[in-house]
């Protein structure tokens, strides 16, 4: 009840809707929990900037005005220049663009901001250093410190939205991960008070490569975690993805969620036409964006497609 009232006071009856757009599933890193991991024999694909635009326009047709661009880690194929070009191509059509790609230096983030990107999402995945080393076997992502400081570099470069999170179930003790996510969010809120800070609470799902979560978080514990986060950090944005099943997503809306993805594809391509590329993970909520928006309205909430415009 307290979490619900706190959320209402701070955010009203609004839920921001967004969609992930996967640019590429190429990756040179080896992360044990991820379907895109370098060792996995999967169909790989990288969209051209023109194909990215086609996908974005399809998402726009479905109502979206905020897109999260996602890619694996491949500094040659998914280069700085490629990312800048994708952002520049989309910016005239999409008011809000965020990035969830490999971490970069401040100068690169500055280029991306100038191109029209306003948000940066970097999941630390796990805050436990031993677990981090055990699941990130190869690639640039092995550098814990460099990744941890990425949201600060992004904010320093002008990103006005910062998203962080941990993959719940990766580390044996999810409660300590939750505390670390909260402490990180609190620190970012203090340091970058002009930026909007949000967290995501993805629970690990089976992925290509046969990964099974070691310590799955139950539904009751998940609800408890969401309420605790809301009470600790009343201004925090909380994002919930289509990894979670429809009934649970609907039930969590009043408790503190502020951002929902909808109608998601986790493979490159797939919105404007069928794609044979491998998805990053299975999704549970397969409802269309219109169906999710209708559910929100039926529950007395306003689906918010757009709350930002560059001038």
Contacting positions for ligand SF4 (CB under 6 A): 27, 29, 31, 34, 36-37, 72-73, 141
Tokens coding 301: 């909430």
Shorter beta-carbon distance to ligand SF4: residue 116 or 202? 202
Question: Distance between CA atoms of 263 and 176, rounded to whole angstroms?
Answer: 32
Residue 272 C-alpha from the chain's centroid: 21
Query: Cβ 144 to ligand SF4, closest distance in Å?
Result: 13
Shorter beta-carbon distance to ligand SF4: residue 111 or 141? 141
Shorter beta-carbon distance to ligand SF4: residue 148 or 248? 148
Query: Cβ 228 to ligand SF4, closest distance in Å?
Result: 27
Query: Cβ 31 to ligand SF4, closest distance in Å?
Result: 3
Tokens coding 68: 């999260």
261 - beta bridge partners?
18
SS3 label, residue 67: strand
Shorter beta-carbon distance to ligand SF4: residue 18 or 36? 36
Shorter beta-carbon distance to ligand SF4: residue 7 or 124? 124
Question: Distance between CA atoms of 5 and 132, rounded to whole angstroms?
Answer: 36
Which residues, at least 6 apart from 224, have a Cβ–Cβ distance to it below 8 Å?
none
Pairing of strands 30-31, 161-166: unpaired
Residue 213, burial from CB neighbour count under 10 angstroms (0-12, 13-18, 19+) = middle
Shorter beta-carbon distance to ligand SF4: residue 122 or 304? 122
Query: Cβ 33 to ligand SF4, closest distance in Å?
Result: 7
Query: Cβ 73 to ligand SF4, closest distance in Å?
Result: 4
* DSSP states along 198-234: EEE-PBP--BTTTB--SSPPPHHHHHHHHHHHHHH-T
Query: Cβ 76 to ligand SF4, closest distance in Å?
Result: 14
Query: Cβ 147 to ligand SF4, closest distance in Å?
Result: 10
Shorter beta-carbon distance to ligand SF4: residue 24 or 258? 24
Are 59 and 11 spatial neighbours (Cβ–Cβ below 8 Å)? Answer: no
Shorter beta-carbon distance to ligand SF4: residue 93 or 142? 142
CA distances from 175 to 6, 56, 161, 192, 234 (A): 22, 37, 25, 25, 19
CA distances from 149 to 5, 153, 184 (A): 33, 7, 10
Query: Cβ 25 to ligand SF4, closest distance in Å?
Result: 7
3-state SS track over 127-159: CCHHHHHHHEEECHHHCHHHHHCHHHHHHHHCC
């Amino acid at each position: 009840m307290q979490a619900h009232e706190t959320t209402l006071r701070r955010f009203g009856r609004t839920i921001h809707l967004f969609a992930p757009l996967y640019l590429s599933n190429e990756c040179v890193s080896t992360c044990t929990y991820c379907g895109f991991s370098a060792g996995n024999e999967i169909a790989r694909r990288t969209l051209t900037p023109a194909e990215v635009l086609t996908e974005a326009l399809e998402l726009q047709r479905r109502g979206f005005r905020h897109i999260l661009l996602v890619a694996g880690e491949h500094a040659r194929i998914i280069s700085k220049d490629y990312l800048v070009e994708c952002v520049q191509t989309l910016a005239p059509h999409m008011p809000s663009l965020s990035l969830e790609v490999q971490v970069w230096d401040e100068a690169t983030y500055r280029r991306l901001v100038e191109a029209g990107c306003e948000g940066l999402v970097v999941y630390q995945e796990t805050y436990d250093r031993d677990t981090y080393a055990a699941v990130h076997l190869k690639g640039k992502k092995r550098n814990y410190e460099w990744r941890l400081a990425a949201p600060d570099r992004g904010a320093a470069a002008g990103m006005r939205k910062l998203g962080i999170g941990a993959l719940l179930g990766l580390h044996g003790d999810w409660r300590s991960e939750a505390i670390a996510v909260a402490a990180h969010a609190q620190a970012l809120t203090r340091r970058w008070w002009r930026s909007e800070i949000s967290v995501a609470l993805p629970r690990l799902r089976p992925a290509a490569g046969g990964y099974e979560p070691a310590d799955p978080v139950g539904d009751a514990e998940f609800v408890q975690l969401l309420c605790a986060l809301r009470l600790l950090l009343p201004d925090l944005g909380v994002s919930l993805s289509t990894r979670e099943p429809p009934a649970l997503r609907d039930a969590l809306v009043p408790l503190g969620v502020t951002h929902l993805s909808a109608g998601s594809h986790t493979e490159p391509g797939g919105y404007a036409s069928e794609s044979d590329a491998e998805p990053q993970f299975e999704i549970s909520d397969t409802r269309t964006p219109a169906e999710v928006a209708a559910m929100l309205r039926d529950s007395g909430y306003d689906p918010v497609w757009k709350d930002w415009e560059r001038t």
